[in-house]
């Protein structure tokens, strides 16, 4: 997605949550610097090779995920795990092809999946700089993303939460078809801010699916 298209949506999100854009930009610079010093950083051609022309299953971390997976023959899909969904998948023996994460879930499970071959799409935002510094140097095959202005090695494919960013990633790299598992946009057993994030995730995904 061109930032000229994403930018106005991003500004609406910032305004809605009263987030500070400069915090996002600062975090993206930190991630860029970290990636510049790592030997095993992938470029986006890897994502194109994995996704283009394939059917993609994006897994969110709703409580329904394990049950939802029963409706799919997973061998027929490229599996993208949105952050916390990685733990659920790994616990039932599924190593996702790609993990989209802001490092807010069980990062040790994500590192384990990474060691088993999962590509890591690591997101920088205003309040995860400490996690970036702690975990990014432990990863292989890392691709950086931001929701603010992209940098030369930190990309913006659109999207806000891990789940909708996973969908936008699949769309950006021309997935043949995108399906969802483990998404519950009407979950009331969450905090107010999480409910608002689910509302945005639902709206964003509906723009592209």
d(Cα 86, Cα 83) in Å, to the nearest integer? 6
d(Cα 96, Cα 199) in Å, to the nearest integer? 26
**Domain locations in the chain as residue ranges:** 3-208
d(Cα 134, Cα 83) in Å, to the nearest integer? 16
pLDDT in single tens digits along all 209 residues of the chain = 899 999 999 999 999 999 999 999 999 999 999 999 887 777 899 999 999 999 999 999 999 999 999 999 999 999 999 999 999 999 999 999 999 999 999 999 999 999 999 999 999 999 999 999 999 999 998 999 999 999 999 999 999 999 999 999 999 999 999 999 999 999 988 899 999 999 999 999 999 99
């Amino acid at each position: 997605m061109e930032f000229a298209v994403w930018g106005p949506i991003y500004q609406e999100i910032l305004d809605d949550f009263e987030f500070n854009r400069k915090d996002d930009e600062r975090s993206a610079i930190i991630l860029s610097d970290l990636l510049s010093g790592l030997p095993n950083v992938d470029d986006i051609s890897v994502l194109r090779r994995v996704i283009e022309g394939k059917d993609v299953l994006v897994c969110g971390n709703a409580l329904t995920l394990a049950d939802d997976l029963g409706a799919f023959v997973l061998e027929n899909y490229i599996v993208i795990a949105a952050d916390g969904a990685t733990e659920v998948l790994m616990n039932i023996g599924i190593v996702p092809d790609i993990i989209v994460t802001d490092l807010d879930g069980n990062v040790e499970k994500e590192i384990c999946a990474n060691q088993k071959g999962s590509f890591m799409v690591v997101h920088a935002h205003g309040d995860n700089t400490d996690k970036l510094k702690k975990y990014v140097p432990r990863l292989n095959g890392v691709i950086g993303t931001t929701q603010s202005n992209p940098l030369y090695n930190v990309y913006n494919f659109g999207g806000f939460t891990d789940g909708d960013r996973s969908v936008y990633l699949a769309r950006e790299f021309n997935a043949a078809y995108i399906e969802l598992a483990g998404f519950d946009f009407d979950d009331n057993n969450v905090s107010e801010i999480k409910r608002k994030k689910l509302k945005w995730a639902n709206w964003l995904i509906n723009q592209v699916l």
